[in-house]
Amino acid sequence: MSRPRPVLYLTMALAGLAAVTGFAGLADLLPATVILWLLLVQAVAVAVAGVYLQSVVTPLADPRDNDGRQLRPSGAGRIDGR
């Protein structure tokens, strides 16, 4: 079973949008208005992705389950012997 990779997929999508916008701007392939709209879409997408990823990715500093309980290692990984 493959594990979900929301950070990877969203980063790839945003990088692709940035590359298209940047290339189109440098090569004068699109009108300036279209490029400005693409940049606005990109800014909104980054903000929405940040909020979404905050809710689905477990932080390494203080991992917690869906109920807010702190996650702890089990079994052989325990150092304190409990």
Range of the domain at 34: 1-55
In a domain, 81, yes or no: no
Total domains in the fold of the chain: 1
Residue 70 lies in a domain: no
Q: What is the pTM of this model?
A: 0.60
CA 74 to chain centre: 28
pLDDT tens for 4-48 read 788 888 889 889 888 888 887 777 888 888 888 888 998 999 999
Pull the structure tokens for residue 48: 């929405």
Any domain includes 73: no
